[in-house]
Chains A and B, each alone.
Chain A
Amino acid sequence: MLRYDSTSSSAGSSSGSLSSSSSSSKPPQQDIDGLLAGAGYKVRSSELRQVAQRLERLETAMGNSPADFSQLASDAILYNPSDLACWVDSLLTEFAEPPPTCSSDFIVDPVNNQTVVNSAWTTAEPHTPQVHQNITYDEQQSLDNQLTVVTAMEEDSGIRLVHMLMTCAECVQSGDLSLATSLIGDMQGLLTHVNTVCGIGKVAGHFIDALSRRIFQGMGGGSVNGGSAFENEILHHHFYEACPYLKFAHFTANQAILEAFDGHDCVHVVDFNLMHGLQWPALIQALALRPGGPPLLRLTGIGPPSPDGRDSLREIGLRLAELARSVNVRFAFRGVAASRLEDVKPWMLQVNPKEAVAVNSIMQLHRLLGSEQTRNSPIDTVLSWIRGLNPKIMTVVEQEANHNQPGFLDRFTEALYYYSTMFDSLEACRVQPEKALAEIYIQREIGNVVSCEGSARVERHEPLAKWRRRLSGAGFRALHLGSNAFKQASMLLTLFSAEGYSVEENEGCLSLGWHSRPLIAASAWQAVPAWDNHMSSS
């Protein structure tokens, strides 16, 4: 039988009615938890954890025998409802709930309980890992009980981790590297007490790694941005499978391109990052089935050169050509190997003046941004030659985040929030090993944002509002993505059957987010006709 340890377990003497008179011996007032006091409950701060555990056990007991409980609830006489711990105990004893069979030092024995709670509150004791090992999985209710208790403890550690991360980032920004280093050590210690399989622990782990890389290896960031093109393609592919962001990007862009190509017989798509070419089968199929028959489709795929004599661009081109042949679409492919987008010159694309051009950039334009706003920065150069091609449509999909701020702390904070949300959304994916590799993909982005500087930092994400200003300034005007794109995106999300994703429409642009935090935004643009003799205005 559990006893509430310091105060007496029996309440006052009033009978029948629920009274709010205080019981016999009250604990000292200054120890009362402030927040609960505001709600009308008096619980000592040091006993919060025990009370929480018991409430959870009570909830489990309620779930297990609802019939008993309803009878109990009508029969129970609560003498002092504001003394939360007390009446929870009394209800529990009424149930005569047998203690869960696992990890007894964690819940049952009130004597040990006291010690465990105290030590866990101040210094992180290694009890949490034990819980995971000792759990008997055949007792589902006790398992749930354990996990909810563990979660309560972890939330606390998780919050501390976040605070420490912010402090560490601040130290890095101000140059206090010794303090930053010691914080890294502390955080790594704290990580062992947090569940790093999911939640804040996992994201925090990646950020701690990135910070330590920044501190110890300098701004080059080691080989974060390295990794061969082959590896990148595989990670990208698994990121495509594991979560809907890239699928959303591809399908939305394809819909816009399809609508823009309506009525044209010769069309040319320029893809700024071909990868495995996963975007294009759907477009080829849609063109094959469009009323009036398919056009002649040319695809120019830009990608990094492959090192070992393999021509990966050509291989992808051949695959796409085979698919196009199967569905009777006249197709021509051209690969342009360039390690950086700014190395591409428009003549390499061999655009025919008579064809309708679509430029497709899925998360590529941000790589052209530098931190300095110089006159002829790569982004301006590229945007101007895109404009020179006079494309029918330019589809731009970018991460909806502000990771290009000059101040490190701001950037770090924003990245922490953004990637935590993204990792949360990844939890919904059940398919392994896609999920693990997708996480590595995201981890590399985090590493680049946090630990690299200068030309090594290529993940310079900017939010949609900034891109709108930039593109309008470069001579483009926005095209509205139609309702078809929105419907398709919504349907795609329903197929993912994870409850948290949401599509939003924002002045003609679509964004996909997790629980109302937009994470990726898609927009479409057209070149404003220039009043130039050499350009044909459309």
Chain B
Amino acid sequence: MVQNHHCEDHETVGENKEKRPKFFINDHVDILIEILKRLDGRSLCVAASVCRLWCTIARNDSLWENLCFRHVSPPPSSVRSVVLALGGYKRLYTGCVRPVRSRLGRMRKASWSRDEVQLSLSLFCVDYYERLGGSNSSGRLVGESSPSSLMFLCKPVNV
């Protein structure tokens, strides 16, 4: 169990073995990131409510990138720029990857195929496009309620 202490206790980073070791994870952000990288989506969101530091780290998109693609053989590097342009990995995960995976029954399975990745990305792109329409609309009906083509995937849980 990780202790979350508020008192200031300076400790040197590294292998400093005292008789009563006080190890505050918040002082070792790199380790913290490594740990958070391995969490699933829900745990990551819970982690984001622990403290300000964890919240900042959990909002980092690279953690979510890891979550999206950890079970896929490494996608081409161009994927990142596309995903970031379309709204970021956190949005991709919560809006597309998680519902797609759970609908396809893949939450427990270790890996998922390129086709599923592609489909998620395509749906994500359509969603981005519709959001564009929402912001650019000039009183069109579409802009108002902004029907999202991902609505059929969504359950009203905002991660």
A282-B126, A289-B79, A319-B133 known; A327+B121 contact, CB < 8 A: no
Q: How far is the CA of A431 from the CA of B76 in the complex (A)?
A: 36
Which of B99, B128, B129, B149 has its CB near the most chain A CB atoms (within 10 A)? B129
A437 to chain B, nearest CB (A): 9
Rounded to whole Å, the gap between the CB of A430 and the closest CB of chain B is 8
Q: Name the contact of B121 in the complex, choosing from A285, A315, A320 (C-beta under 8 A).
A: A285
If the complex has contacts A319-B136, A491-B115, A494-B103, are A240 and B149 also in contact, measured as CB distance less than 8 A?
A: yes
Give, as a whole number of angstroms, the nearest-CB distance from B111 to chain A: 15
Interface residues of B in 26-82 (CB under 8 A from A): 76, 78-79, 81-82
Partner of B128, one of A281, A484, A491, A492: A281
Complex CA gap A291/B152 in Å reads: 30
Is the C-beta of A411 less than 8 angstroms from some C-beta in chain B?
no
Contacts of A488 in B (CB 8 A): 115, 118-119
Proximity string of chain B (100-139) to chain A, C-beta cutoff 8 Å, 1 when within and 0 when not: 1001100000000001101101111110111011001000
Residues in B whose Cβ lies below 8 Å from that of A171: none
B158 CB to nearest A CB, Å: 17
Q: Tell me the residues in window 275-303 of chain A with beta carbons closer than 8 Å to chain B beta carbons.
A: 276-278, 281-282, 284-286, 288-289, 291, 293
Q: Which of A417-454 contact B (CB under 8 A)?
A: 429, 431, 433-434
- Which residues from B are CB-within-8-Å of A315? 136
Contact A276 B142 (CB under 8 A): yes
Please tell me if the beta carbons of A484 and B125 are within 8 angstroms of each other in the complex.
no
Known pairs A289-B79, A326-B86; list 13 more (Cβ under 8 Å).
A234-B142, A241-B147, A251-B122, A276-B133, A278-B130, A281-B126, A282-B126, A285-B121, A429-B152, A488-B119, A495-B153, A496-B152, A497-B103
Chain A residues whose CB sits within 8 angstroms of the CB of B99 once the complex forms: 495
- How many chain-A residues does the 8 Å CB contact rule pick out? 42
Question: Does B13 reach chain A (CB closer than 8 Å)?
Answer: no
Q: How far is the CB of A230 from chain B (nearest CB, A)?
A: 8
Q: Which of A233-260 contact B (CB under 8 A)?
A: 234, 237-238, 240-241, 247, 251, 254
The answer to whether A495 and B100 touch across the interface, beta carbons within 8 angstroms, is yes
Q: Which of B78, B104, B115, B153 contacts A288 (CB 8 A)?
A: B78
Interface secondary structure of A, over-half rule: helix
Closest to A294 in B: B78
CB-defined A-B contacts under 8 Å, sample of 15: A238-B147, A241-B151, A278-B130, A282-B122, A284-B125, A285-B82, A285-B124, A289-B76, A291-B76, A318-B136, A319-B129, A327-B125, A431-B151, A434-B147, A488-B118
Report the separation of the CA atoms of residues A496 and B132 in the bound assembly, to the nearest whole angstrom: 24
Q: Is B159 part of the contact surface with A, judged by Cβ < 8 Å?
A: no
Q: Is A147 an interface residue (CB 8 A)?
A: no
Instruction: Kindly state whether residue B25 has any CB partner on chain A within 8 Å.
Output: no
A487: Cβ under 8 A from any B Cβ = yes
Query: A328 CB to closest chain B CB, in angstroms?
Result: 7
* Tally of A-B Cβ pairs under 8 angstroms: 98
Q: Is the CB of B82 within 8 A of A281?
A: no
| Inter-subunit contact A492/B119 (CB<8 Å) | yes
Most buried by B among A284, A291, A326: A326
**How many Å lie between the Cα of A403 and that of B120 in the bound state?**
36
Interfacial chain A residues near B129, Cβ < 8 Å: 277-278, 281, 319-320, 323
Check B141 for interface membership: any CB of A closer than 8 A: yes
In the assembled complex, how far is the CB of residue B133 from the closest CB belonging to chain A, in whole angstroms? 6
Nearest CB of chain B from residue A426's CB, rounded to whole Å: 13
Is the CB of A499 closer than 8 A to any CB of chain B? Answer: no
Q: How far is the CB of B89 from chain A (nearest CB, A)?
A: 15
Whether A319 pairs with B147 at a CB distance below 8 angstroms is no
Complex Cα distance, B83 from A10, in Å, reads 76
Residue of B nearest to A244 (CB): B152
Bound-complex Cα distance A346 to B116 (A): 38
Note all chain B residues with C-beta closer than 8 A to A319: 129, 132-133, 136
Docked Cα-Cα span, A234 to B142, in Å, equals 7
| A318: nearest chain-B partner, CB-CB | B136
Question: In the bound complex, do residue A289 and residue B149 qualify as a contact, i.e. CB atoms below 8 Å apart?
Answer: no
Instruction: Point out the residue from A282, A322, A494 that lies within 8 Å of B132, measured CB to CB.
Output: A322
Q: A247-B149, A327-B82 are in contact. Are A491 and B116 (CB under 8 A)?
A: yes
Q: Which of A289, A319, A488 has the most CB of B within 10 A?
A: A289
By a CB distance below 8 angstroms, the chain B residues around A293 are 78
Given A281-B126, A491-B104, residue A326 in contact with residue B85 (CB < 8 A): yes
CB-defined contacts of B126 to chain A, threshold 8 Å: 278, 281-282
List A contacts of B118 (CB < 8 A): 286, 488
Nearest neighbor of B122 in chain A, beta-carbon distance: A282
Query: Which of chain A's residues have a CB closer than 8 A to the CB of B125?
Result: 281-282, 284-285, 323, 327
Q: A287 to chain B: closest CB distance in Å?
A: 11
CA separation between A278 and B130, bound complex, in Å? 8
- Whether A289 and B82, one on each chain, are in contact in the complex, defined by CB atoms closer than 8 angstroms, is yes
* A496 to B149 CA separation, bound complex (whole angstroms): 11
Complex Cα–Cα for A492 and B99 (A): 12
